[in-house]
Amino acid sequence: MGRLQEIVYRYDVLPSTNDRARELAEAGAPEGTTVMAWQQTAGRGRQGRRWYSPPGAGLYHSIILRPPLPPVEAPLLGLVAAVALAETIREDYHLPADIKWPNDILVLGRKIAGILLELEADADRVRFVILGIGVNLNQTNFPADLGQPATSLRLETGQIQEADLFRTRLFARLDQWYTLLLGMGRTPILTRYSDLSSYVYGRTVQVEVPEGAIVGQTCGLTRSGALRLRTRSGEIEEIVTGDVKHLRVVAEDDNATSSSESQRP
Ligand code: BTN
């Protein structure tokens, strides 16, 4: 057993495993403490969205981490989880998992897993991070109002999936990549993420940021995992947080227009 999952709290129903993990972290729970639920009644996604969490159909986990990192490097932990998820789905389930920056896991343009990273920090050090991971395992349909196409491991493989097996496979990789990040620094995880994600280089995307929308071509990651975008004026913008939409460029000239998001790259 590695750093993670040494202490596990299992619940039948919780509003959100992230909220329970935060309470435990505030009370001093050690690194690696993991909260799991069979069902969430108020599962949360990024950007204030909800996370569809029906009983027994998905994995709903939150892990308490206490990494010796400055707050600016905390996004690297989301990259760790994204890489662990993408590797598990590719290598153990033989599906073409992609990572949409920052950490949506897609199979053929449909979302199969997501990560919600919540940070509690002082000015110069992380106090704790709650790493929330949701995986669609055995759902066979999804509500129409999720805002993006979704899929599950069962829909993609045609087979009912065992939660414990997925969890064991995922946690082995989480442990490995987290230990590597702390021991070797950021280069291995940035490199692996860039290999696994079709969004890191050469994609024309639109990113919604608080100031508006930025359109540009992706050109790599910064040292802390932000997305670099080359805009039409040639400037490089660094996107720290936001929602990325892939645009299909219709014409490559000054009047180039971009069609709406293609969810199936
Ligand atoms: C996203 O893609 O928007 C992130 C989804 C994260 C969902 C997980 S499920 C376990 C944990 N508890 C929550 O309320 N959210 C995360």
Among 187-196, 234-243, 256-265, the range of highest mean pLDDT: 187-196
Res 253: pLDDT? 44
- Name which of 218, 222, 219, 221 is nearest 247 in CA terms: 218
How far, rounded to the nearest angstrom, does the alpha carbon of residue 190 sit from its chain's CA centroid? 14
- Report whether residue 49 contacts ligand 1, using a CB cutoff of 6 Å: yes
Strand partners, 9: 35
Q: How far is the CA of 53 from the centre of ligand 1 (A)?
A: 9
pLDDT at site 249:
64
CA count, 13 A, side-chain hemisphere, 125: 5
pLDDT at 147: 82
Q: Give, using CA atoms, the residue closest to atom 3 of ligand 1.
A: 45
Q: Is the pLDDT of residue 57 over 50?
A: yes
pLDDT at 29 over 90: yes
* pLDDT tens digits, one per residue of 93-133: 999 999 999 999 999 999 999 999 999 999 899 999 999 99
Q: Is the CB of 18 under 6 A from ligand 1?
A: yes
**Whole-number pLDDT of residue 209:** 82
Distance 225 CA to ligand 1 centre (A): 20
User: Is 256 a residue whose pLDDT tops 50?
Assistant: no
Q: Is the pLDDT of residue 208 over 90?
A: no
Provide mean pLDDT across the span 208-220: 90
pTM (two decimals): 0.93
Q: Which range among 79-93, 104-118, 234-248 shows the weakest confidence by mean pLDDT?
A: 234-248
What pLDDT is attached to residue 248? 73
Q: Between 264 and 124, whose confidence is greater?
A: 124
Q: Give the distance (Å) from ligand 1 centre to CA of residue 258.
A: 31
8 A C-beta contact, residue 251 and residue 257: yes
From the CB of residue 145, how many other CB atoms can be counted at a distance below 10 Å?
7
pLDDT in tens, 149-193: 999 999 999 999 999 999 999 999 999 999 999 999 999 999 999
* Helices 75-87 & 163-184 angle (0-180, nearest 10): 130
Task: Give the C-alpha separation, 18 to 13, whole Å.
Answer: 13
Binding site membership of 104 for ligand 1 (Cβ less than 6 Å):
yes
Cis peptide before 149 (omega within 30 of 0): no
More confident of the two residues 213 and 252: 213
What average pLDDT does the segment 190-213 reach?
94
* Choice among 62-71, 83-92, 124-133, 243-252 with the minimum mean pLDDT: 243-252
